[in-house]
Structure 1
Amino acid sequence: MRLAIVGGGSTYTPELIDGFARLRETLPLEEVRLVDPDESRLALVAGMSRRMLEHAGHSARVVGTTDLVDGVADADAVLIQLRVGGQHARHADETWPHEVGCIGQETTGPGGLAKALRTVPVVLRIAETVRRHAKPDAWIVDFTNPVGIVTRALLEAGHRAVGLCNVAIGFQRRYASLYGVEHDRVHLGHVGLNHLTWERSVTIDGRDRLPELLADRLGDLAGEVHLAPELLTQLGIVPSYYLRYYYAHDEVLREQLAEPTRAEAVQAIERELLELYADESQHVKPAALEGRGGAFYSEAAIELLAAMQGGADRARVVNLRNDGVLPFLPDDHVIEVPAAYRDGRFVAEPVAPLADDLAGLVAAVAGYERLALDAAVHGGRDRVLRAMRAHPLVLQHDRAERLTDLLMAENARFLEWA
């Protein structure tokens, strides 16, 4: 298999490479092409990646290139993992919403809208190059946030694409560890939109263990997602960490105002990692990479890619078209649920009806996402304002006006229509 990774100069790429080395029997690779416009950074990451594979005895070639066409040519699959504007833009997303009393986060709320506006046009251009130069049946696997919006943009443009997030696999691995079982014995009742999901069941060998987890480990479960135990008890399910931005917005805002941003922390980690990657004696994944985020991303990506190549077709959590799974959403909206790969496509498992409070929040955020994609594709302040106002964390018109002005001022160099 020939795999292209667009955004391959990311300091996180060696996490993927480590997974390729450990799980070589699951996903046989002949060549990995790392594509990135930052030549110096790419050289460091590609060099580290080669040493890691060589040390592990893996025969795959690693090629680094700044040329997108060369990078995706004849690829069997293309993984997109980029951040337009880098950590500096992320830092802005995490701070300017504070001026209007909103949380700053790069995928949720006003910051998430800014990221969508920066990202969607770039990804769509990349996807057109993939369409022209990769193999005709090549898949695009999108790990670029906001995954739900970006994946829908790709699907609406007719690309063979699926979205991937590491939230579900993190829950699965955690519950497998708690019960001392192999992770493939754990099946999650994972449902929602990207970064707006809940675990409604944790089934191990046909038995739902979530009720006993909530009874016996309530404090641990609540602590892991930083939410009140009483909330989990009342819901009877486990929200993802990203629900904290909705269920505890004001608490999160107070914390953000008192602490450095996540972007600042990641920048420090990246400086350390790049120094390590420059050291030619380094040939194993650095421990510092654990602080970079994206736990289990490599396993999730490898399992998904292997399934596409004819591997096991058990259900795994992906972002795909709704197509009636959640009947209160349009068919072409993108949801995040377990799906199996069969006959060249992903088929979602049936989902039991959502409780009214969950369905209401999903519907509201889905409405925002549709407006956000319209703004990202077609541009215009009015479209941005409509999307901003529609987000459940904004709503008020005056607040939306001020946030829209801040967003456009901070992102003017990225908005081609501005």
Structure 2
Amino acid sequence: MKLTVVGGGSTYTPELIDGFARLRDTLPIGELVLVDPSADRLELVGALARRIFARQGHPGRIVTTSDLDAGVDGADAVLLQLRVGGQAAREQDETWPLECGCVGQETTGAGGLAKALRTVPVVLDIAERVRRTNPNAWIIDFTNPVGIVTRALLQAGHKAVGLCNVAIGFQRKFAALLDVAPPEIFLDHVGLNHLTWETGVRLGGPEGKDVLPDLLTGHGEAIATDLRLPRALLDRLGVVPSYYLRYFYAHDEVVRELRTKPSRAAEVAAMEKELLRLYADPGLDEKPELLSRRGGAFYSEAAVDLAAGLLTGTGSPYQVVNTYNHGTLPFLPDDAVIEVQAAMGRTGPTPLPVQTVDPLFAGLTAAVTAYENLALEAALRGGRDRVFRALLSHPLIGQYAYAEELTDRLIAHNREHLAWA
């Protein structure tokens, strides 16, 4: 089996490599190709990846290349984990929206739109080149904004599935709180990428007992603290929202916080510098502890599980993925990309039925879906007016004066990445 990771020079790749090594019985990889245009980073990360495989006794071969076409040729699956513009672009996404009083974040609000505009054309070009060399390859997208990027891929006819680590993170946290093994936890997970709610926590599978009320009663304070939301809000909602919902439920509070501290991009850039220094040590043959603070917890386990389900029909029978709605949420269009539990197999994910969604959550989901439609239109066709329409539609913006100013700032900060600007 051959897997290719586009963006393989990322400092986060050793986390993925560690998962591939530990879970080799679930996903037997014969050849792993890391593709990245940065030769220096790729050399460091590739060398560490080979040492991790060697230490854990993985027999697979690791290849590094900057040649995308060669890297994806013959691949059974291609994982996308790229960041167009690097941390410098992320730094901008997280700062200029704050100048307008709006949240600065790389996947939500104006910053998220900027990232989508930079990313969608690049990802579609990669996918077309994958299709030319191997039309049967699965594309697993971990590149943010996952929902918009996955919809772009599916709309263009690619065999694509979107992946996020939020659900597996909640699964692991709830399992620890309840003192059970993670596979015992099944989440009633519903919404869009980075806009989801855990409306049920079941023991043993989709038909298991819902212990969410007990979880909130016994551990609500710990969960609320982790989400940085009031315990009383969780009790009133009766669900556990994704931590990204804090940008909606406490927007002004978050903006005040972000204006008084360094950006997350600056923190990550400093970590990356130190990680690359560590990776250069020829004696290092395991992921360093610092990597745990880089973000994307449990991504490797989720990626292995998803790839195994798509390629071999093994892995977990149900997984939380981003895929077409196809009537699962009746208040959304069929071609909306939602993030829900799905039955997995070689033919791809099939979303499980979802109980009626509370209007409090359905309304926000529908509004953000409308924004994502407009955002994808702007990414595919360009133009200042399309950018303005997407920003005006976003629930965190919604005022024409803000949308006008944010449109000008977005274009000014991203002109080099926008072919139409």
TM-score normalised by structure 2 residue count: 0.98
- 1:403 aligns with 406
- 2:244 aligns with 242
Give the length in aligned residue pairs. Answer: 417
Q: Tell me by how many angstroms 1:138 deviates.
A: 1.1
SS in 2 for 1:285: coil
- 1:148 aligns with 147
Alignment of 1:281-320 (within 5 A): 281-308=283-310, 309-312=312-315, 314-320=317-323
- Which of 269, 272, 275 is 1:270 aligned to? 272
* Alignment partners' CA distance in 1, 2:37 and 2:408: 30
- 1:81 aligns with 81
The answer on 1:50 being equivalent to 2:55 is: no
Residue pair 1:313, 1:342 contacting (<8 A) in 2 also: no
Amino acid at match of 2:360: D
Deviation by residue 1:205-225 (Cα, 9 ceiling, x = unmatched):
311110011111111111111
* Alignment partners' CA distance in 2, 1:330 and 1:55: 48
* Alignment partners' CA distance in 2, 1:137 and 1:73: 11
The answer on 1:413 being equivalent to 2:416 is: yes
- 2:212 aligns with 210
Q: Tell me by how many angstroms 1:312 deviates.
A: 3.7
Residue pair 2:49, 2:62 contacting (<8 A) in 1 also: yes
Amino acid at match of 2:383: G
SS in 1 for 2:323: strand
SS in 2 for 1:102: coil
- 1:125 aligns with 125
Q: Tell me by how many angstroms 1:140 deviates.
A: 0.1
* Alignment partners' CA distance in 1, 2:279 and 2:91: 24
Q: Tell me by how many angstroms 1:180 deviates.
A: 2.1
Identical aligned residues as a percent: 61
Q: Tell me by how many angstroms 1:345 deviates.
A: 2.1
The answer on 1:200 being equivalent to 2:181 is: no
Residue pair 1:389, 1:397 contacting (<8 A) in 2 also: yes
Residue pair 1:6, 1:81 contacting (<8 A) in 2 also: yes
The answer on 1:167 being equivalent to 2:166 is: yes
Residue pair 1:98, 1:104 contacting (<8 A) in 2 also: yes
- 2:327 aligns with 324
* Alignment partners' CA distance in 1, 2:98 and 2:315: 46
SS in 2 for 1:412: helix
The 1:343/1:92 distance shift into structure 2, 3 A limit, reads closer
Deviation by residue 1:346-399 (Cα, 9 ceiling, x = unmatched):
110100111111111000000000000000000000000000100000000111
- Which of 348, 351, 356 is 2:354 aligned to? 351
- 1:378 aligns with 381
Alignment of 1:222-237 (within 5 A): 222-237=224-239
SS in 2 for 1:217: helix
* Alignment partners' CA distance in 2, 1:79 and 1:271: 24
Amino acid at match of 1:288: L
* Alignment partners' CA distance in 1, 2:81 and 2:346: 26
The answer on 1:221 being equivalent to 2:220 is: no
* Alignment partners' CA distance in 1, 2:419 and 2:396: 26
* Alignment partners' CA distance in 2, 1:133 and 1:184: 36
The answer on 1:36 being equivalent to 2:36 is: yes
Q: Tell me by how many angstroms 1:313 deviates.
A: 5.1
Residue pair 2:367, 2:394 contacting (<8 A) in 1 also: yes
Q: Tell me by how many angstroms 1:183 deviates.
A: 1.2
Q: Tell me by how many angstroms 1:95 deviates.
A: 0.3
SS in 2 for 1:90: helix
* Alignment partners' CA distance in 2, 1:186 and 1:82: 30
Deviation by residue 1:281-314 (Cα, 9 ceiling, x = unmatched):
1111111101110000000000011111221451
Q: Tell me by how many angstroms 1:150 deviates.
A: 0.1
* Alignment partners' CA distance in 1, 2:218 and 2:56: 41
Residue pair 1:46, 1:62 contacting (<8 A) in 2 also: yes
Q: Tell me by how many angstroms 1:339 deviates.
A: 0.3
Residue pair 2:309, 2:346 contacting (<8 A) in 1 also: no
TM-score normalised by structure 1 residue count: 0.99
Q: Tell me by how many angstroms 1:343 deviates.
A: 5.3
Amino acid at match of 1:168: A
* Alignment partners' CA distance in 1, 2:348 and 2:91: 37
Amino acid at match of 1:33: V
* Alignment partners' CA distance in 1, 2:195 and 2:313: 30
- 1:334 aligns with 337
Deviation by residue 1:240-267 (Cα, 9 ceiling, x = unmatched):
0000000000110111001100000001
Q: Tell me by how many angstroms 1:79 deviates.
A: 0.2
Q: Tell me by how many angstroms 1:133 deviates.
A: 1.0
* Alignment partners' CA distance in 1, 2:307 and 2:346: 15
* Alignment partners' CA distance in 1, 2:346 and 2:41: 39
* Alignment partners' CA distance in 2, 1:352 and 1:336: 14
* Alignment partners' CA distance in 2, 1:172 and 1:386: 37
SS in 2 for 1:342: coil
Deviation by residue 1:39-78 (Cα, 9 ceiling, x = unmatched):
1111110011011101111111111100000110000000
- 1:12 aligns with 12
* Alignment partners' CA distance in 1, 2:313 and 2:356: 32
Residue pair 1:167, 1:240 contacting (<8 A) in 2 also: yes
